[in-house]
Amino acid sequence: MLILPLALLVLAACGQGQRQSSAAQTSTTKFATAATTKEAAVKPLGADDDAQISRRLDVLKDYTEDQVPGAKFPEFSPFSASAGLNTAITGDPGDYTLYLSTSAQELTPHEAPLALHKATPTSTAAANEAYAKMGYQSLAGSQPQTLAGAIKAVVRRDKRATAVMWLHGKYSVTVRSTAHDLAAAKALATQVEALLAQNPLPKTETHGAVVLTVESQQGRTNLVSWREASAYYKISGHKAMTVLKLAIAIS
């Protein structure tokens, strides 16, 4: 199917969890005080978008809607203020992928740094598989310790990564370090929770999952997944915070 790209420079404002092996270790952690989190708090994203930026985004959104009716589209750019925004979409209303890049990046299914995919399972087995792939972590049996305010987190370690995990509404949030750098995972987790404290994630029918990695890796390894009605959505991308900002932008 043809990819239909459209470039638009946008001066925007700010712009699966895995099963643990039997050898995995779980512990509790406290890595940010309430004062620290308050200082790091971020105001709602997109709040400073002026009328011109909004009009330009509306034009791009309308173009995407013409290609795939009902397709989700961000209300603000998930990239930096001066990066610009390119988009391309393939598929149909029940199963599509929206690709996003900056004006300086490749916009192809393989190279695009961000993608939003919608899938609508047609059987119970397919729906169960889609739910399992979200990577939701219930944290059942764990004894998390206060992260900041009412947020509680646990640390899990296995051969592949060290992860800081907590629950945010219906979502589980996992911040992983494949280098087993707990300090870096804690720092990113604090940044993530500060952003989520001011900006909502998409509403989900059952559970949702945020799975972010500290280290840069090949491929779109950072994920946000959720369910709406019978459809399952997944945002994937190269950079953790950009993926999170896209999820907020289409919430």
Read off φ and ψ for residue 43, nearest 5 degrees: -70, 165
Q: Over range 180-207, report the average pLDDT.
A: 93
Q: Which of 195, 199, 149, 153 is closest to 176 using CA atoms?
A: 153
Residue 34's pLDDT is what? Answer: 35
Percent of the chain scored above 70 by pLDDT? 76
Mean pLDDT in residue range 30-56:
50
Given a cut of 50, is residue 23 above it in pLDDT? no
Q: Which pLDDT score is estimated for 219?
A: 87
| Average pLDDT value for the chain | 81
If phi > 0 it is left, if psi is from -120 to 50 it is alpha, else beta; for residue 229 that is: left
Q: What is the mean pLDDT of residues 177-198?
A: 92
Determine the Cα angle at 116 with ends 111 and 15, to 5°: 80
Is residue 41 over pLDDT 70? no
Q: Is residue 126 pLDDT above 90, yes or no?
A: yes
pLDDT digits (tens, 9 = 90+) for 87-98: 999 999 999 999
pLDDT tens digits, residue range 100-113?
998 889 899 999 99
Q: What is the per-residue pLDDT for 55?
A: 73
pTM, whole model, 2 decimals? 0.79
Q: How far is CA 192 from CA 177, 197, 241, in A?
A: 14, 9, 7
Distance in angstroms (rounded) separating the CA atoms of residues 140 and 110: 37
Q: Which has the higher per-residue pLDDT, 120 or 54?
A: 120
DSSP state of 110: T
